[in-house]
Amino acid sequence: MRNKLLIGPVLLGLALPAFVPASAFAQASTATGAVGGAAVGAVVGGPVGAVVGGAVGATVGATAEPPPEVRSYVMRERRASVRVEQDVVVGEPLPPDVVLYEIPDTDAYEYTVVNDRRVIVEPRTRKVVYIVQ
């Protein structure tokens, strides 16, 4: 009986991040993701939920933020800004006519400057993964 009661909170702790929009985690660090995930998991599932939520949050946080060397490279480079009608939002793809620029030593990210904002993009999907502040 006790095992059955723990299954619900564990499943809820794993499923909860699916209901949170990707932009909420957009520029979170691993530590922030772990702490936030643990807090939400604890509310939903108690101690077990806190552990599961912390692990899931850390994973989401780790994948959300490009490494420092990628961010610093994008800040150093000078490119003209392109104007687009849509808002630049983390998790949303850029239009196909926006030119993306390669970042040396990585295939995971490319970048561009849109509406005077430097953005780091996942090249395969063209989704914005980080907005450089």
Which letter does DSSP use for residue 82 in this model? Answer: B
Q: Taking residues 45-56, what's their average pLDDT?
A: 64
Q: What is the model's pLDDT at position 133?
A: 82
Q: What is the mean pLDDT of the chain?
A: 75
Domain ranges in the chain are 2-64, 68-131
Please report which confidence band the pLDDT of residue 18 belongs to, taking 50, 70 and 90 as the band edges: very low
Burial (CB < 10 A; 0-12, 13-18, 19+), residue 47, is exposed
Q: Taking residues 125-133, what's their average pLDDT?
A: 95
Q: Which residues contact 77 (CB under 8 A, 6 or more apart)?
A: 101, 111
pLDDT at 109 over 80: yes
Which letter does DSSP use for residue 86 in this model? Answer: S
Among the listed ranges 52-56, 63-67, 82-86, which one has the minimum average pLDDT value? 52-56
- Specify the pTM: 0.55
Q: How many CB atoms are closer than 10 A to CB 15?
A: 11
